[in-house]
Structure 1
Amino acid sequence: MAATGARSSAIMAAGTLVSRVLGFVKALLIATAIGAQTTGDIFQLANQLPNLIYVLVAGGVFNAVLVPQIIKAAKNPDGGADYISRLLSLAVIGLAVLTTVVVLLARPIITLVSTGWTQDQIDFGVTFALWCFPQLFFYGLYTVVGQILNARGAFGAYMWAPALNNVVAIAALLVFIWMFGSNATADHSLGNWTGAQTFWLAGMATVGVAAQALILFIPLKRLRLGLGVKVGWRGIGLSTAARIASWTLATGIIANLSFLFLTKVASSATGAREAVVEATGQAVAGPALLEYSTMLYQLPHGVIGLSIATVLFNRMAHSAGERDHGGMVASLSQGLRVASVATIFCAVALIVYAGPVGMMFSGGEQGAGAVMGQLVTVIALGGPFLTIAFMMGRMFYASEDARTPLVVQVISAIITIALGALVLAVVPPQYTTFYVAGLYVFMNIFSAALYHRALKRWLGDYDVAHIVKTHLRVSLAAVVAGLAGYVLLQLTGGYSIDGFPWRSPLSGMLFSLLGLAVMGIVYLGALKLLRVRELDGLMAPIRARVGR
């Protein structure tokens, strides 16, 4: 099982890494095409909402509940074919109804989540939303089919499919820039925007998400489960899933309401930007730069943490079914220790090279690059805790305890929303995005602390000393690497606006890659000196995959 898990983690990590790299390329092209200020803010908000609404309403149910239920159904004489057919049919119908309602409510939704926007900006957001909101259906379809594949041990396709989404989006953005020019040359704005631009930007973004979902039907067909459309759901055992789903659905709603509210808080920067720029001449960070910063700090979780957690979740579910608490603890400890090797290093690297990284997504504007660098410095602190809280939560879902994650999310969301309301009330709009980034960090740390307390009550000692010692050694190695990176940045003028990293997005990217390589070499050496054995656990499946 260990060898299979290692291979699965490697396949998933490779697919996710490729997808994330392509995602960076897509983000860079979006910043190049429409900039990172008002037009970029409005598009990013409209394009982000379908995924946020999906996670708000159904994502937690699909991600956390389906795998244990499908594993149980696989023990049936038909291998779970009847159960899966009915589950998939129910999901498609439910998603279609939900998507239709959301599209019809596009204007009220955009109006609700924006703060201080003019009527023209709201109209612009609604135009993007009508093209982007159908993504909700395909996000749900991708998750359902992907979880069916995961439960049957076919992990790779689920992690590789987003790469197709990004390829489609990248191709469309290149066409956009070729046909209409970059933002630096054409200054795309509400006043000169056309329907053709909307199609190549927002319409093709939805085509990419659709391709990501539909491609999964190829590996699903190869499983030869004999699936079909079945609409009778009585008496097939969905009552257990529904009971758990009710808790998980409540958890998803509460957790993501806080994110939705923070999105509204950050949008206040868009409405105030024109007045601030006219008065001070300074760039203002809004939803677009916050989205890019969020993507960066979530990278190690998405590539490493999520891949490890997905494989370990199946082990946890099997151990929970056998009432093997020792096996569950071993899986959690291994996941937290191995993932820390990547997440802590990436957090330090982002902090050291925040300026050059911000310049990459600035659209060529040094002011935008500087404010994004400041955002990255704040939000990067929460990266390791994002993975920690996620893995801890999976322990409870694996044992079909959805109530504890709900309690954690309720407490965290209430405090976060209260703090967000305070920010919206007293903080000038041009600074709200930085406070929102800080609240992201707070949510991750606070959730991890609550999960720790719940695990101690449930399992007692879950190998905490071993986990903490590993994190301390990894942190020390990352700090040593960070000092090396800082020296390199000083020597090349990276802390001066006239330095090489600030000349263009390309120079920022080249310098970031150089700095990452230098830090990586120092980091590996420090890990070896500190005898961090978890490095082998992280690298072994990757080496095996490359070797084959």
Structure 2
Amino acid sequence: MSDSNTASLPVQDAGVLPSRRVIQSGDTAEPSGDDGVRSSAEAPDTTARSSAIMAAGTLVSRVLGLVRVALLATALGASGGVVDAFSIANSLPNFIYLMVAGGVFNAVLVPQIIKATQNPDRGADFISRLITLAVIVLLVLTALVTLAAPLIMTLVTDFSGERLALATIFAYWCLPQIFFYGLYAIVGQVLNANGSFGPYMWAPVANNIVSIAALVAFIVLMGSQLDSSHTPESWTSPQTLLLAGGTTLGIVIQALVLFWPLKRLGLGLKPTFGWRGVGLGRTGKLASITIITMLVGNGLYLVNIRVASIAAEARPDYLARVPPQQIAGPFNLDIGTMVYVLPHSVIALSIATVMFNQLAAAHSRNDLALIKETLSRGLRIMGVATVFGAAVLLALAVPLGMLFSGGIRPDGALNAVLISLLAIGAPFLSANFFLNRVFYAAEDAVTPLRIQLILSVIGVTLALISGTFAPEYIVPLLAVSYSLGNIIAVVVSHTFLVRKIGSYGAGRVYDVHVRLVLAGMVSAAVGTGTLWLFGGYSIEGFVWQSVLAAFSVLAVCGTLMALVYLLMLKVLRIKELDEFLAPLLSRFTRTT
């Protein structure tokens, strides 16, 4: 889960989603400038179409991801010993990949690949050597980490006994995902550097389909948590095969499906050894800085896992009380995080990924005015989606929480509390991600490291403070620390950015966001009132009866909120709405 959230997710600000050129052999593309990058006059249309393709793939993937998490909650519950162990073990591969290699693959290698595509061979030799080197590094890294699974689980969790043993077994099954995360990333970078944005965003759909199939099989064969009450003590090997094996198989397929569009590029790639004199020296210097940045940032993520596991380890004592008390654990936090990053993942990342090309092109021409305008425009357009997303999270936390509860009301209530606490930080997550794109467009890896050092110190402090409270308060306080971390991150990144490029129109960005917040507040008020009619504030209300009831209420209230929000944007004359809708409208026009 991305990704420069300084508190909640593995650090992805070193570039979880790459930015690339927009020309690809075989694609229908508009003319480019002599430098191989589209002119600024063409940039808005390019951004619109590329963003729409990426957003569509991401949206489908995210929807399937929501289904997958809902099924996982149905299979194992949202607050149990098995689901917490699996949640942590399954998050480690992505975390370790990002910490050691993700920043290098996504932020540092992108400019190098883009430059290589300008060569007469379209970068075939450079890319062949790069992929060969990446595969070797990933194989060694994955093997070493997998062998160290028992030590890693002991270090990153507060688990003991059967829970620790089960988490370690899950880790053995899940850690090989590291290799395939890296393979997916490096091949995706090559595709997108050549303008093929779609495959990288659509490949996770295959992953989610496989994972969903495995979870459905688990529920059918092994029963749901509501019916069977799965525990670490009763867990069996066939259950591990279906759960962890099915999840890892999805990641494998996600990587392998990219080789078909890679072959269509016609680059003639093949294993190629020898890396001297091919321009990787500069890459290595940047990579070393980026790795330090990721280590620092994801060290914070490790602390968060460790602190959240304290609550999970204490849960049996709370369940033994009279009456029993359920408390939030790591998987509840994962659910809250997954929900609150949706606006960022579906919209903001798509826009930022494509607009990064414009930032990089402007930097190559030393066009400071265009850099500032692109930054300001991107922040304003993103705000249209992220502010509304925050309003929905705040107003409809109850049905959202129940949606991922497996039909267990206490779990739904815990999820709802965390979603509400995380909602405020959602727009700041996207804003900070895009602010940092300016540094990476200039191939500046040092400034993000400085920023990450500051934010990590703050984040670790907040996490450790959370861990000193009673177990029932630990995870909610971690959620608060995530929101605070995102807000602080924007302030820090803005300060460094102004020192680097000067004023970029932050006042205009602020003005637009004030009006967006006003529209969001009106929309949230309507959503809250409608939720009240559906019994959202009474445990016996309709919305609390089942997952299907929660989904129905969410659909009705969400649609109503969207209509009110759009009306308010028109009333407040927010022209960024037209720019935000342009990609969707243009694609609809071409298909009708």
Q: Quick check: 1:321 aligned with 2:371?
A: no
Partner of 2:398, secondary structure, is helix
The answer for the alignment partner of 2:117 in structure 1 is: 74
Partner of 1:78, secondary structure, is coil
Q: Quick check: 1:394 aligned with 2:437?
A: yes
User: Is the CA contact (8 Å cut-off) linking 1:67 and 1:150 kept in structure 2?
Assistant: no
The answer for the alignment partner of 2:19 in structure 1 is: none
User: Is the CA contact (8 Å cut-off) linking 2:402 and 2:544 kept in structure 1?
Assistant: yes
Moved over 2 A (4+): none
Q: Deviations over 1:20-69 (max 9, x none)?
A: 00000000000001111221111111111111111111111111112111
Q: Quick check: 1:456 aligned with 2:498?
A: yes
The answer for the alignment partner of 1:111 in structure 2 is: 154
The answer for the alignment partner of 2:531 in structure 1 is: 489
- Decide which of 159, 169, 173 is 2:201's aligned counterpart: 159
The answer for the alignment partner of 2:521 in structure 1 is: 479
- Decide which of 49, 68, 84 is 1:41's aligned counterpart: 84
Q: Deviations over 1:67-91 (max 9, x none)?
A: 1111111122211111111111111
User: Is the CA contact (8 Å cut-off) linking 2:384 and 2:516 kept in structure 1?
Assistant: yes
Partner of 2:538, secondary structure, is coil
Q: Quick check: 1:286 aligned with 2:329?
A: yes
1:47-126 paired onto structure 2 within 5 Å: 47-115=90-158, 117-126=159-168
Structure with more helix by fraction:
1
User: Which residue type is aligned with residue 398 of structure 2?
Assistant: G
Partner of 2:278, secondary structure, is coil
User: Is the CA contact (8 Å cut-off) linking 2:534 and 2:553 kept in structure 1?
Assistant: no
The answer for the alignment partner of 1:540 in structure 2 is: 582
The answer for the alignment partner of 2:34 in structure 1 is: none
- Decide which of 394, 397, 401 is 1:351's aligned counterpart: 394
TM-score using structure 1 length: 0.98
User: Is the CA contact (8 Å cut-off) linking 1:493 and 1:499 kept in structure 2?
Assistant: yes
- Decide which of 190, 193, 200 is 2:242's aligned counterpart: 200
What's the CA shift for 1:165?
0.4
Q: Quick check: 1:502 aligned with 2:536?
A: no
Partner of 2:325, secondary structure, is coil
What's the CA shift for 1:260?
1.4
User: Is the CA contact (8 Å cut-off) linking 1:106 and 1:129 kept in structure 2?
Assistant: yes
What's the CA shift for 1:419?
2.3
The answer for the alignment partner of 1:420 in structure 2 is: 463
TM-score using structure 2 length: 0.91
User: Which residue type is aligned with residue 149 of structure 2?
Assistant: A
Gaps of 5+ in 1: none
Partner of 1:495, secondary structure, is coil
Partner of 1:272, secondary structure, is helix
Separation in structure 1 between the aligned mates of residue 394 and residue 573 of structure 2, nearest angstrom: 25
The alignment-based identity, stated in percent, is 48
Partner of 2:84, secondary structure, is helix
- Decide which of 481, 485, 495 is 1:443's aligned counterpart: 485
The answer for the alignment partner of 1:238 in structure 2 is: 280
Separation in structure 2 between the aligned mates of residue 216 and residue 237 of structure 1, nearest angstrom: 25
The answer for the alignment partner of 1:140 in structure 2 is: 182
1:244-323 paired onto structure 2 within 5 Å: 244-279=286-321, 280-323=323-366
What's the CA shift for 1:191?
2.3
Q: Quick check: 1:363 aligned with 2:391?
A: no
Partner of 2:584, secondary structure, is helix
The answer for the alignment partner of 1:517 in structure 2 is: 559
User: Is the CA contact (8 Å cut-off) linking 2:162 and 2:233 kept in structure 1?
Assistant: no
What's the CA shift for 1:4?
2.0
What's the CA shift for 1:240?
1.1
User: Which residue type is aligned with residue 130 of structure 2?
Assistant: L
The answer for the alignment partner of 2:4 in structure 1 is: none
- Decide which of 414, 426, 430 is 1:383's aligned counterpart: 426
Of 56-65 and 304-313, more deviation after overlay is shown by 56-65
Partner of 2:425, secondary structure, is helix
What's the CA shift for 1:352?
0.9
User: Is the CA contact (8 Å cut-off) linking 2:77 and 2:411 kept in structure 1?
Assistant: no
Q: How many residues align?
A: 546
User: Which residue type is aligned with residue 181 of structure 2?
Assistant: Y
Separation in structure 1 between the aligned mates of residue 183 and residue 72 of structure 2, nearest angstrom: 26
The answer for the alignment partner of 1:187 in structure 2 is: 229
Separation in structure 2 between the aligned mates of residue 327 and residue 85 of structure 1, nearest angstrom: 34
